[in-house]
Homo-oligomer: A and B are copies of this chain.
Amino acid sequence: RGRRLGRGGLVIVDEFGGQYEEGFEDVHTEIVNYFTYKATSTVLHQLYEMNPPAYTWLYNYVVVNDPKEGKHFLVALAKERQDLAERVMITRLHLYSKWIKKFDHAKMYEKISNENLEIMRQRLMETVAWPTDDTNTSDTAK
């Protein structure tokens, strides 16, 4: 549709007749995908202690299938091991509920704002003209 993917799936807009869509559906998909990954990691941890054969199986599965693909990952996993897919699905919903109880919008805003400031401060420090070590180097060369 006149769009192509750059590095990391970045959408580069090639078409400029239409307007730029400003939705957040992509953010939600990103979050769901991340919780799928986090849930898979949690299930792997539990299996390591409780069910080593299932751990080994899932570990090997994850080497070739990326949990960050979210729904796609789960659909494929359900075909191979429905029990494990169900477990990951239940876990991601559980983790999401836990997270949302703790999530603080204002703190997150502050976190981003502080990081922005920190990057600017760091940049400022770099642009200060410190005395260089070039003279020392030429001294040594003598």
Contacts and interface: CB of A to CB of B under 8 A. Distances in A.
Interface in A82-118: 82, 85-86, 89-90, 92-93, 96-100, 102-103, 105, 108-109, 111-113, 115-116
Contacts of A49: 16
- The count of identical subunits is 2
Contact of A37 (B10, B38, B86, B92): B10
Main secondary structure of the interface of A (DSSP, over half): helix
A1 interface: no
Most buried by B among A27, A62, A85: A27
A89 B116 contact: yes
Interface of A: 6-8, 10-13, 16, 20, 22, 24, 26-28, 30-32, 34-35, 37-38, 40-42, 44-45, 48-49, 59, 62-68, 71, 74-75, 78-79, 82, 85-86, 89-90, 92-93, 96-100, 102-103, 105, 108-109, 111-113, 115-116, 119-120, 122-123, 126
Given A22-B98, A28-B111, A93-B116, 20 more contacts: A7-B65, A8-B37, A8-B66, A8-B68, A10-B62, A13-B48, A16-B48, A24-B98, A24-B99, A27-B34, A30-B30, A30-B34, A32-B115, A71-B115, A71-B119, A78-B120, A79-B126, A86-B120, A89-B116, A96-B108
